[in-house]
Structure 1
Amino acid sequence: MLRKIIAGARIFDGERFHDDRALVISDGRIDTIAAANDLPDGEIIRLDGGVLSAGFIDAQVNGGGGRMLNDEPSASSMYMIADGHRPYGTTALLPTLITDTADSTLMALEAAKEAVEANRGVAGLHLEGPHLAPARKGAHLAELMRPVEDKDVRTLIAAKQAIGTLMVTMAAEQVTSKQVHELSEAGIVVSIGHSDCSSEAAENRFDAGARGVTHLFNAMSQMGHRAPGLVGAAIDHPAVWCGIIADGHHVNPKALRTALRAKRGEGKLFFVTDAMSLVGSERDEFVLNGRTVRREKGGFCSKLVLSDGTLAGSDVDMASTIRYGVTYLDLTLAEALRMATLYPARFLRLEDRGRLTPGARADLVHITDDIQVTRTWISGKAA
């Protein structure tokens, strides 16, 4: 048995902190959390303080390390994106293909199977489009958006069986409740987003099996006192998970703090980055569907905009979102860590990730007391 013991840091197991303890890993999985003065035999890795946690999980990553998935929907692109985010603590992510052609979508579905099997930090695939609403297009191309057809349902279900974890973002206007039910019953994570729907339409899709809402507040019908919209339906529904972009640009912190207090259902909000290719890259601009996206510095972190000022994804990494949560959203470190580990794991049904309990994967991150990443591991191997 190949055993590693990591000692010298506080351990956060997904629920609580452990002091004066060490994490024991056997064959790439968590064995136990042992007393620091009573360790079994094995290779000992000593850390200098800080916190050892499950690695961060990001359900929405358009790019990183200088590559957008839309540039080349291949396994190599997925590895580049995962490698670009790993220095910031992300050990599992869903490369995200934004609205594109049918050929690009099929290429991404095929590539994801290979990438997941390689165990290099790619946990599945997220298709954010093309079944979105032009009225809430954001930085997506409206001309490529269309309703879900029955053949799309068959294609996605077949792909899910090969990939394992497949998330799809769809507007309520572009998918029927019956289609949502079929996709959800097949194990696909259906999320409503880029939608101008009524709260009633949203609730119908939730009741049919839609599990989440993509980047709450952004690119969706807002909450009014007589028309609650998608925002109101998402906050009110106790079973619905919501990803949030915490970068100081996409959503005012007052709105995020309000959502955190109001959301029905414990632990139903989690961090996503919605990151673009510039994370992990020194460049200041890139091309998205033929349009230049530029980095504008200022605020908590830089923002990415099209020429008309439209936000085009984010320039934030997962460690930064945790710092933002602690600094601006009144979150404890424990809850901020859960929003980057335990909660996205539960949302995506990654049952053996997001916590440090016996049998879980040893996907780990070590952070300093000021939430700077020093080391990561995937299945117990330094990464």
Structure 2
Amino acid sequence: MAAIRSLHAAGICVAMAHSDASISHIREAASAGLSLSTHLGNGLPHTLHKTENALLGQLAEPGLAACLIADGNHLSPEVLAAMLRIKGVERSILVTDAVLAAAAPPGHYRFAGMEVEKDASDVVRQPAANHLAGSALELDQAIRNLVRWGIATPEQAIRMASINPRRALADAARAHGVTLPPGGVLWSDDLRPMEVTSS
């Protein structure tokens, strides 16, 4: 907890991930300055206690914004819908967990000393393993996914990919003299980016 307090006091945005923390530890960490759940629902033990686990602790903590990978592989549409109902649009952020294979055709790739395989359905795994190794998701596709699955309106999905992450990082950026200028994206009717503007 001392590290969280120190980082928060230094103007650093503190996030948690790949954790098996108890609900009470998560609550204490949030009080100390923890503010983000990185790719919520992933990187957890395969077996969780039904009422006392890190996933429920993060969902229940109002001070934590939830970063969600909306690719249908890390989290199913049904799980995403449930998480969004609990966290709400304002406390939800779309992320990708994309690795270098994201914009590449299916095949084998190496990064961080690890071999990964991207299959024809855009799932990225380590060869011969059944666990995910990042994602091939691009952020505009995450927006389209939420809308296509009926989980969010276009306006809500775009907000979760733009305004919400900007707001989550604003205090830390300001503390270090970094300006996050507002920008904009012109979207087509089928939610594909057509033009990016900055101010």
TM range, smaller chain: 0.7 to 0.9
**Partner of residue 79, structure 2:** 255
1:187 aligns with 2:7: no
Tell me how far apart the structure 2 counterparts of residues 275 and 329 of structure 1 sit (CA, whole Å): 23
Instruction: Give yes or no for contact 2:11–2:171 (8 Å, CA) kept in 1.
Output: no
Q: 1:233 to 1:223 in 2, by over 3 A?
A: farther
Aligned length: 191
Match of 1:347 among 147, 153, 168: 168
Larger Rg: 1
Aligned-pair CA distance for 1:328: 1.3
What are the ranges of 5 or more consecutive residues in structure 2 without an aligned counterpart? 174-179
Q: Contact conserved, 2:106 with 2:119, CA < 8 A, in 1?
A: no
SS at the partner of 2:90?
coil
Question: What is the deviation of 1:220?
Answer: 2.4
Give deviations 1:256-296, integer Å, cap 9, x for gaps: 11111122x66111100111112333463211333310101
- The alpha-carbon distance between structure 1 residues 226 and 204, as it changes in their structure 2 partners (threshold 3 A), is same
Q: Which residue in 1 is equivalent to 2:51?
A: 226
Report what 1:8 is aligned to. none
Q: How far apart, CA to CA, are the structure 1 residues paired with 2:171 and 2:143?
A: 20
Identity %: 27
Aligned mate of 2:29, from 205, 213, 225: 205
Alpha-carbon contact 2:106-2:120 (below 8 Å) kept: no
1:277 alignment partner, SS class: coil
So what's the TM-score if we normalise by structure 2? 0.87
Gap change, CA 1:256 and 1:362, over 3 Å in 2:
closer
Flag the structure with higher strand content: 1
**What does 1:259-338 correspond to in 2, within 5 Å?**
259-263=83-87, 267-282=90-105, 284-298=107-121, 302-307=122-127, 308-338=129-159
CA contact (8 A) 1:223 1:232 kept: no
Between the two structures, name the one with larger relative contact order (CA 8 Å, sep ≥ 6): 1
2:194 pairs with 1:374: yes
Partner of 1:246: 70
Q: Give the 5 Å matches for 1:112-127.
A: none
Aligned equivalents of 1:277, 1:192: Cα separation in 2 = 23
Could you tell me the TM-score, scaled by structure 1's length? 0.47
Report which of the two has the higher share of helix: 2
* TM-aligned CA deviation for residue 351 of structure 1: 9.6
What SS class does the counterpart of residue 312 from structure 1 fall into? coil
Q: Contact conserved, 1:256 with 1:329, CA < 8 A, in 2?
A: no
Amino acid paired to 2:190 = D
Q: Kindly indicate whether the alpha-carbon contact (under 8 Å) linking 1:366 and 1:375 is maintained by their aligned counterparts in 2.
A: yes
> How does 1:4-15 map onto structure 2 within 5 Å?
none
Stretches of structure 1 that go unaligned for 5 or more consecutive residues are 1-176, 353-359
SS in 2 for 1:262: helix
Aligned to 1:363: 183
Following superposition, which runs of at least 4 residues in structure 1 exceed 6 angstroms of deviation? none
SS class of match (1:311): coil
Label 1:283 to 1:251 Cα distance change in 2 as closer, same or farther (>3 A). closer
Distance change (3 Å), C-alpha of 1:346 and 1:257: same
Paired AA for residue 197 in structure 1: A
Pair 1:215 & 2:39 matched: yes
Kindly report the root-mean-square deviation, in angstroms, between the aligned alpha carbons of the 2 structures: 2.2
